[in-house]
Amino acid sequence: MSPDRKFITTEPLFIAGEKAESQVWMAICRSFEPRDCIAYWQFPIFSKKLGTFRKEPDILIVDAELGLIIIEVKSITIEQILGITGHHWQLQNFYTTRANPYQQAEHQLFALLDYCNLEESLHHQVPGRVLVALPRILHSQWQHRGFDRLPSSPPILFQEDLGFTANTPFFSEPSPVNGQHSSLIEKIENAPLVTPGSELSSEQWALLKAVISGTPLFRPPSRRFFLTNWDNLEPALTRSAVLAIARKRVSELDLQQEQIAKVIPPGPQRIRGIAGSGKTVLLCQKAAQMHLKHPEWDIAIVFFSRSLYDPILQYIDQWLKRFSCNQIGYNPQNSKLKVLHAWGAKDQPGFYRTLCQAAGVWSQSVQQTTRSTANEALAEACYHLLASATIPAIFDAILIDEGQDFIVDEDLKFEGKQPFYWMAVQALRPVNREKDNNPEIPQKRLIWAYDEIQSLETLKVPTASELFGDEWGQLVTGEYSNGIKKTEIMSRSYRIPAPILTAAHGIGLGLLRPQGLLTGMQWAEDWEMIGYNVRLTNLKEPENSPYNSPLKLGETITLHRPEHNSPNPIAALWKQPLIEFEAYRSRSEELISLSDRILYNLKIDGLRPSREILVIVLGMGWEAIELETQIARCLIQQGIDIFIPGTPDCNILKPTSNNAHANQFWCEGGVTISRIHRAKGHEADMVYLVGLDQIAIAENNLNFRNQLFVAMTRSRGWLRLSGLGSYPFYEELARVIESGNTLTFRLRFPPQRDISITDGGELLRRYQNGDRNFQGANLSALDLTGVNLSHANLIGANLQQTNLTHANLNYAKLVVANLSRANLTGANLQRVKCVGTNLQQAQLNSCDLSRADLSDADLSMAALVRANLKDANLSGTNLTQVDLSDATLQGAVVNEVNCTEVILTGAILPEGWIFAGCSRTTLTESTIIS
């Protein structure tokens, strides 16, 4: 993880009224960089309402040695302070006439300490400090006014403490002067403690970080279990005993999750997370803190499956209470934060229906569409709305969960765009931020999270190009100011034990399939991005690393899932296999075995029926519906209470016609039996998958494989699969289960479905589909040997250290791109536009740069031996220490070229004569063109 992850800027800096805070923040980041700490700019904790708004801490530092530090920043000059009485400051020519910065920060500190004190090992153990930063006031000015002699004068960080002097430009970055950063730490360390504490142990430090992130909020309740008298097993061997141990643990702070959850991007953002990575919880946290920070905003969090209503409402409510110190909960009747099902119903407003109402158009029902699948029916309705009305911009932010569920095939696209997403874009107000705005593509705060492997209807991936067309292909490439990422890729799965997740990927993608994998990634780095270590069996040391390069056909690939990417402790606590599979001769035999095992779970293991046991029915259509009913009847006959989602109560087999209970997935006292579409987004400790034969008979069906992956990843503890008959697919599954956390397979041919996660893989796929816009793309250090990117728009792209040997880049636009230390040996760069491009130390030997525009480019220390620069524009180019041996410069424009120490041995110069002088010389413009 990048070290700058520990400095979390929750919103972009450098906007009006925050310049002083940005100065203090930069000084804090520089000073605390080597320390074991996390720091937040505007941490979302709102301890007390101040007037008509809520105020979060300007800067929060969580330090292993110093504990909690809150710094309140006031961007005022000494002249703006009329007087100080106690904690109250009288101000003039400021947005307020009164302030109490120290007391305000104290309230925020106590709010955080209250959460710490809920944990037994942290109770009154965490030291806390509060300081006020005045980056526009010198210590001498403060003393001159006599404020330092006041009994209530707080500890203050003055302008010089932050690395600024009276002559420093106000908007400059602080720089260390005479050990300034170490003295800043010392100044903070010497500030009086608001609350005393003690030296934290490593366990206490880990817990403190988790508390600050809010992790304990979702810790399951402690597990009490009772064993029957006839149980002859040791308690430590039961599943409930294992859960009791596991639930006492608090997950460690994940800095990437903190960035995703607490940062509000100034425009669109894409979150790609594997199953169990916490996408839904993070989106709810992001939405809740947006609402508290900006109560005037209209915000919608949108999802596809109605059974997600209850968990999302619960998450939103919990986060609102957490950030507001229990002052605010979710109120659906009076809230500018709306939780909306994608479609909606008569009794429950949905996103589509809300926009229809705002546009003055009658909304369609599912029955009024011509499509049979839910995602296509919704897309058809959205298409009709887009074609028939202008959608008003009524939201400031829209967050979409399970974004893959809204994708449809080409025939339902609206003007080349995915209808649901384009409808959402129209409903958003532009972000008023000049720095990041593109006049052609207005910045709008659309945030979507997805895992394309969990798609049950379509095989398309929700990239920006797929959603909005090629012209918007770079919408979520790169970063906003202050390092806020436009795309986040989450590789750690907290819910699913490693053996189950590895098996789900193995069987879901067909990695051990005898005929070859079905779905996969052609870049080693892509596998790394979803949490696997990659080893290529054919790779011989000391060759280059396999990462950042495409995998070759015939390659033998080994994937291993390390423990830190699947930190669920069940795998370590349970000494028996977590996954079981059994094939039966008849359905009745399969169902009797299922009921026996569930009875064992209830009576021996001590599991609760609701939320701890889940039965998922595999297959599609009427076969799945009939099997669901069969399972329910069998379990009821064995005395097990069941619940089928959509029904009003336990032990009812059919949903009611009024659809009043469509949101309900669990029922207290009953074991939920569900088909896969309703089960998405839910989880249980013990999961049973029944009817595997429905998948086995069509094992090459990618949608069926995705269904199986989704079903397997509902488990947070144990998984049992069962089916009828004998199929080759069962043998494949057995091999996957036996492989544990390591899968080895041979890449016999390209996968039927190629999933590209990294920028490099996505770029090549987009190029093959006809897209040429890759402006600002991050392609650093990739192996793009021989790639064809002719006519591509790579303006501002990062190609640092990229291998582009023999690549075709003719007519490409590389204006102000970074190609420093890139290898372009033998590449075709005819007529390329490299105005202002960074080509320092680039390898351009034997490269064809004829008629290229290299004006104002930096080629210092580059190698251009035997390069063809005929008729190239080198005006203003920096050729310092460039090797142009045997290069062709005939007809080149070389006005104001810097040719210090250039090597020209054997080069054909602009006038056509061959340079025969010394191998290294200092040349002026007049010399080179004479």
Give the three-class secondary structure for 534. Answer: strand
* CA triple 261-218-342, angle to 5 deg: 60
CA distance 466 to 451: 15
Which residues of the chain fall short of a pLDDT of 70? 1-4, 14-18, 48-54, 164-182, 219-236, 433-440, 538-549, 657-660, 916-930
Q: Give φ, ψ of 615 to 5 degrees.
A: -110, 125
Look up residue 215 and give its two tokens: 């992790």
629 burial via Cβ count (<10 Å: 0-12, 13-18, 19+): middle
pLDDT of residue 748: 85
Look up residue 553 and give its two tokens: 């056909």
pLDDT of residue 201: 95
CA distance 352 to 372: 18
pLDDT of residue 4: 61
CB-based contacts of 198-204 (< 8 A; 24+ apart in sequence): 198/125, 198/127, 199/65, 200/64, 200/65, 200/67, 200/125, 200/126, 203/121, 204/121, 204/122, 204/125
- Return the closest-CA partner of residue 192 out of 132, 120, 277: 132
pLDDT of residue 649: 93
Q: Give φ, ψ of 255 to 5 degrees.
A: -65, -35
pLDDT of residue 418: 96
Q: Is the dihedral of CA 763, 767, 769, 773 positive or negative?
A: positive
Give the three-class secondary structure for 358. Answer: helix
717 burial via Cβ count (<10 Å: 0-12, 13-18, 19+): buried
- Return the closest-CA partner of residue 677 out of 646, 721, 654, 699: 646
CA distance 277 to 716: 12
- Return the closest-CA partner of residue 917 out of 925, 928, 926: 928
CA distance 599 to 580: 17
CA distance between the termini of the chain = 55
**Residue 542: cis peptide before it, omega within 30 degrees of 0:** yes
CA distance 794 to 170: 35
Residues with Cβ within 8 Å of 442's Cβ and at least 6 positions away in sequence, in order, are: 430, 431
Neighbours of 59 (CB within 10 A): 23
DSSP string, 410-471: GGG-BTTB-HHHHHHHHTBPBP--TTT-BTTB--BEEEEEE-GGG-SS------HHHHH-GG
Asked if residues 447 and 400 have their Cβ atoms less than 8 Å apart, the reply is: yes
HEC string of 873-919 equals ECCCCECCCCECCCCECCCCECCCCEEEEEECCCCECCCCCECCCCC
In Å, the largest CA–CA distance within the chain is: 104
CA distance 437 to 133: 31
Neighbours of 336 (CB within 10 A): 14
Please write the tens of the pLDDT for every residue from 755-805: 877 777 777 777 877 788 888 777 777 778 888 999 999 998 889 999 899
CA distance 63 to 37: 4
Look up residue 498 and give its two tokens: 């490693």
Look up residue 773 and give its two tokens: 């816009």
Chain centroid to CA 152: how far?
45
Neighbours of 85 (CB within 10 A): 9
CA distance 727 to 583: 10
Question: Which strand (E) or helix (H) includes residue 357?
Answer: helix 351-359
Asked if residues 815 and 833 have their Cβ atoms less than 8 Å apart, the reply is: yes
Which residues make beta-bridge pairs with 441?
438
DSSP string, 468-533: H-GGGTTTTSSB-GGG-BSEEEE---SSS-HHHHHHHHHHHHTTT-TT--SEE-SBHHHHHHTT-E
CA distance 711 to 453: 12
Going by their DSSP bridges, the two strands 299-303 and 269-273 should be labelled as: unpaired
pLDDT of residue 626: 95
- Return the closest-CA partner of residue 93 out of 75, 117, 115: 75
145 burial via Cβ count (<10 Å: 0-12, 13-18, 19+): middle
Asked if residues 486 and 480 have their Cβ atoms less than 8 Å apart, the reply is: yes
